[in-house]
Amino acid sequence: MTAQNSAAIVLAAGLGTRMKSALPKVLHPVAGRAMVLHLLDRLGELKFDRKVVVIGRDTKAVTDAVSPIPTAIQDPPLGTAHAVLAARDQMSEFDGDVLILFGDTPLLTRQTMEIMLDARRGAENPAVVVLGFRPNDPAQYGRLVTGSGGALEAIVEFKDASPEQRDIPVCNAGIMAVDGKHLFELLDAVDDDNAKGEFYLTDIVAIARARGLSCAVTEVADEREVMGVNARAELAIAESIMQERLRDAAMAAGATLIDPATIYFSFDTVLGRDVTVGPSVVFGPGVSVGDNVAIRAFCHIEGAEISNGAIIGPFARLRPGARIGIDAHIGNFVEIKEALIETGAKINHLSYVGDARVGPDANVGAGTITCNYDGFFKTHTDIGAGAFIGSNTALVAPVRVGDGAITGAGSVITTDVPADALAVERNDQRHLDGWATKFRARKGAEKNKKKKG
């Protein structure tokens, strides 16, 4: 479905004081993406006609993050109804359905958004549809007061609720779908005569009922979906729920996760079929993995593209711009950054390859380092097809090693190596006959003398 003739208003002007952070609350990341952007991603899938994010003062960072989606400013924040009113200009002459969401609920699914909009267009044509849930611990949530037949009559905030009302198990999750023809006239009637002295969005239900409009509740099955993040501990819970979803999705799409609970994904990680991921692997943003790839234990991978059949790790680090070709092998304690490793190339042990190309079937020996930075500029290293880089070679960029060339172990390569040549850069080896025997005799004698003395 698409959200035809619908608009979405995301409220994100709250102060977020409990995060104790210089970063606005809704920009704290879950699975590598700002909370509010998770919500906007889901909204994006539904193709709303209009979207607006309501922000508070000093929130250039939020404006930049949500761009090109427009923002409206609510300053000072005087409550959730007041926040929606701040979006009045962006909603002018709009009489479709308006979905109102909270910016700090990153786990809300597209399905729930669709169900809300469907309910708003239901047979009884409710002016307001509220998302309800039955939390294990109803704590401070608003309670949904229903009349005979289960119709929604009012939402009573916890602080204003009577003891009987506090016993109501169904709470307000905070998300509403409202008929745009009535939204602003209902909001205009809200006052701040309540325990918190705020303009409550929740009051529009009783106001609508008093005007003879019907209101409805849609219950969400999994309360975790509507959890709001107010403090760091809740951020950690949201992260773990999101990780669980990402792991389940990866397995459902054909990846084997040896120990799922120890594997961390980003919101955008893409895995092919028959990928096996070993324990304790972390995916940062921007990773795509082809089919039949093995990622062994303890790898850290971000901004990398891994092609079919490659083997990564254990203990490999792929940094942004690492492009690993078909059937290439990246082994233990190897770091790759901004480098193209072509088909069948092998870098199996203890190496740093940055700002480079490694040609097809090249073999990069243990301890090879591309010296890509002189303290001022980064420069490029090019290793040709089938080249063999001896162990502990330092390749001082900019430098090229031709196709099929070999570098001797321990060499410091500072000038281009022609194709099929051997480049060796080290002193000739000398042998001093009998030196070791004499050395042991001398040192042994010294040691005995010390002991006696």
Contacting positions for Mg ion (CB under 5 A): 228
The residues with which 406 forms a beta bridge, in sequence order, are 388, 422
- HSE-CB at 72 with a 13 A cutoff on CA atoms is 22
CA distance linking residue 107 with residue 147, whole number of Å: 30
Shortest distance in whole angstroms from residue 15 CB to Mg ion = 11
CA distances from 252 to 92, 259, 275, 284 (A): 44, 15, 12, 20
Residue closer to ligand UD1, measured from CB, 78 or 297:
78
**Other beta carbons within 10 Å of 256:** 14
Asked whether position 142 contacts ligand UD1 by CB under 6 A, the answer is yes
| Residue 128 bridge partners (DSSP) | 178, 215
Of 123, 107, 233, 237, the residue nearest 174 (C-alpha): 107
Q: What character string, x for contact with ligand UD1 (CB under 6 A) and - otherwise, covers 307-346?
A: ----------------------------------------
Which one, 102 or 283, has the nearer CB to ligand UD1? 102
- Is there a catalytic annotation at residue 431? no
Q: Long-range pairs for 293-299 at CB < 8 Å and ≥24 separation?
A: 297/258
Could you tell me if 336 and 324 are in contact, meaning their C-beta atoms sit under 8 angstroms apart? yes
Binding-site size for ligand UD1 (CB under 6 A) equals: 27
Site string for ligand UD1, 173-212 (x = CB under 6 A): xx-------------------------xxx----------
**Of 182, 300, 329, 349, catalytic:** 349
Q: Give the shortest CB-105-to-Mg ion separation in angstroms.
A: 9
Residue span 218-257 as binding mask against ligand UD1, x where in contact by CB under 6 A, dash where not: ----------x-----------------------------
Report which residue's Cβ sits closest to Mg ion.
Answer: 228
Give the residue with the Cβ less far from ligand UD1, 200 or 352: 200
Which one of ligand UD1, Mg ion, none interacts with residue 202, CB within 5 to 8 A by kind?
A: ligand UD1
Within positions 369 to 428, which residues make up the interface with ligand UD1, using CB under 6 A?
Answer: none
Count of positions (residues) in the chain: 453
To ligand UD1, the closest distance from the beta carbon of 155 in angstroms equals: 6
For the segment 41-80, give every residue that binds ligand UD1 (CB under 6 A). Answer: 54, 74, 77-80
Q: Is 19 in the site for ligand UD1 (CB under 6 A)?
A: no
**If residue 452 lies in a helix (H) or strand (E), which one and from where to where?**
helix 435-452
N-terminal to C-terminal alpha carbon distance within the chain: 94
Task: Determine which residue in the list 28, 50, 51, 82 makes contact with ligand UD1, applying CB under 6 A.
Answer: 82
Write the single-letter amino acid at 266.
S
Q: How far is the CB of 102 from Mg ion (least distance, A)?
A: 7
Question: In terms of DSSP bridges, do strands 128-133 and 394-396 run parallel, antiparallel, or are they unpaired?
Answer: unpaired
From its phi and psi, is residue 125 left (phi > 0), alpha (psi between -120 and 50) or beta?
left
**Structural Rg of the chain based on CA atoms:** 31
Q: Which of residues 87-106 bind ligand UD1 (CB under 6 A)?
A: 102-104
Largest CA distance in the chain: 109
Contact between 13 and ligand UD1 per CB under 6 A: yes
The residue among 227 and 405 lying less far from Mg ion, judged by its C-beta, is 227
User: Per-residue b/e over 93-120, b at no fewer than 16 CB within 10 Å?
Assistant: ebebbbbbbbbbbbbbeeebbbbbbebb
Nearer to ligand UD1, 201 or 217 (CB): 201
* Nearest CB to Mg ion, comparing residues 227 and 299: 227
| In the complex, least distance from residue 397 CB atom to ligand UD1, rounded to whole angstroms | 49
What does DSSP assign to residue 89? G
Q: Alpha-carbon distance 26 to 34, whole Å?
A: 6
Residue 432's CB: how many other CB atoms inside 10 A?
8
CB of 228 to ligand UD1, least distance (A): 4
Catalytic residues: 349
Give the residues lining the site for ligand UD1 (CB under 6 A).
Answer: 11-14, 54, 74, 77-80, 82-83, 102-104, 141-142, 155, 157, 171-174, 200-202, 228
